[in-house]
Amino acid sequence: MIDFDKTFLIQLVNFLITIVGLNLLLIRPIRDKIQERNSLMAAQVGKIEGFNSNAEEKLKSYQAAIDVARQEGLEMRKQLRADGAGEEQQIMAAAGKEVAASLKAAHDEIAAQVAGAKQALASEVEKFAQKATAKILGQA
């Protein structure tokens, strides 16, 4: 059987002092460091998740702004094309009128020159006819 004597009590006290000493010197500081590290890691994870959610929100906002700018650019380009087509029609119509007026002026000038040439030749036709008849009759 187990005998409870003085050495047993001394060893029990010695064991309890060792446990208390180890608890004070090793276990409690290690446990505190582990708890401190866990709280630090939890804080860091919270910051990282906040940063990630903030980055995702900014990315979505940026993408939405790009989409709006792209749509505005397409609408502006469409409007500028329509304005350009209208201006092109006006320029072409003005150029067509100018060309038509220029052609009419050239045609009128040519017609006037032809009429002047016909008048000049009409007055000289009589002279040419007399010379031709004189040559023909003179040779015959």
Angstrom distance (rounded) from CA 27 to CA 20: 10
Tell me the average pLDDT across 3-14.
Answer: 88
Tell me the average pLDDT across 62-89.
Answer: 94
pLDDT of the residue at 32:
96
Q: Is pLDDT above 90 for 38?
A: yes
Dihedrals phi, psi of 85, to nearest 5 degrees: -65, -40
In which band, very low, low, confident or very high, does the pLDDT at 16 lie, cut at 50, 70 and 90? very high
Higher pLDDT, 74 or 1: 74
Angstrom distance (rounded) from CA 43 to CA 49: 10
Structure tokens at 89: 């029609």
pLDDT of the residue at 125:
81
Residue 1 three-state SS? coil
pLDDT of the residue at 80:
93
Angstrom distance (rounded) from CA 31 to CA 95: 93
What percentage of residues in the chain have a pLDDT greater than 70?
A: 98
Tell me the average pLDDT across 123-137.
Answer: 82
